[in-house]
């Protein structure tokens, strides 16, 4: 599936990688829950409509969207994030632990990729200032 779509490209786009990951994370966790005999509980995100309004805005710049969605900062070693407490549960089985570890590493990598996109959006303004 991906091979044909990306033929001729040296690397997939960062945003496409992030979109694929997000889709896969949902399926991987649903699969693991199913294997453990559970299902997914629907918990609608109360901020979903607000976030979609920001993301689909035709008035906001991409840079403003990153700022408003809180996607402009890369994870920093030594500072806490929402993933730090995932392994406080000492009885996680190895298969679930492996899935969680991969998920956390990918989420943090996604944070770095999005921060790099944000930095690239900011670059043209900085160049203009230097030229002026």
Which of 89, 96, 101 lies closest to 35 in space, CA to CA?
Answer: 96
Q: Which of 25, 51, 102, 108 binds Fe ion (CB under 5 A)?
A: 25
Distance separating alpha carbons of residues 65 and 51, to the nearest angstrom: 9
- Residue placing its CB nearer to Fe ion in the complex, 22 or 62: 22
Q: Should residue 22 be labelled a site residue for Fe ion when binding is judged by CB under 5 A?
A: yes
Q: Should residue 81 be labelled a site residue for Fe ion when binding is judged by CB under 5 A?
A: no
Alpha carbons within 13 angstroms on the beta-carbon side of residue 123 total 7
Nearest distance in Å: CB 109, Fe ion? 11
Distance separating alpha carbons of residues 98 and 83, to the nearest angstrom: 14
Stretch that binds Fe ion, among 21-29, 31-39, 55-63, 118-126 (CB under 5 A): 21-29
Q: Determine the size of the site formed for Fe ion (CB under 5 A).
A: 2
Q: What is the DSSP letter of 86?
A: G
Nearest distance in Å: CB 74, Fe ion? 16
* H or E segment to which residue 117 belongs: helix 94-131
Residues interacting with Fe ion, by CB under 5 A?
Answer: 22, 25
């Amino acid at each position: 599936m991906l091979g044909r779509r990306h033929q001729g490209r040296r690397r997939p786009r960062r945003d496409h990688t992030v979109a694929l990951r997000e889709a896969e994370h949902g399926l991987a966790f649903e699969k693991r829950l199913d294997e453990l005999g559970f299902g997914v509980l629907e918990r609608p995100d109360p901020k979903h409509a607000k976030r979609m309004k920001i993301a689909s805005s035709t008035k906001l710049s991409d840079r403003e969207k990153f700022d408003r969605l809180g996607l402009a900062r890369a994870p920093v070693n030594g500072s806490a994030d929402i993933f730090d407490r995932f392994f406080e549960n000492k009885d996680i089985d190895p298969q679930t632990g492996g899935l969680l570890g991969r998920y956390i590493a990918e989420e943090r990598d996604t944070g770095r990729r999005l921060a790099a996109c944000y930095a690239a959006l900011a670059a043209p303004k900085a160049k203009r200032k230097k030229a002026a």
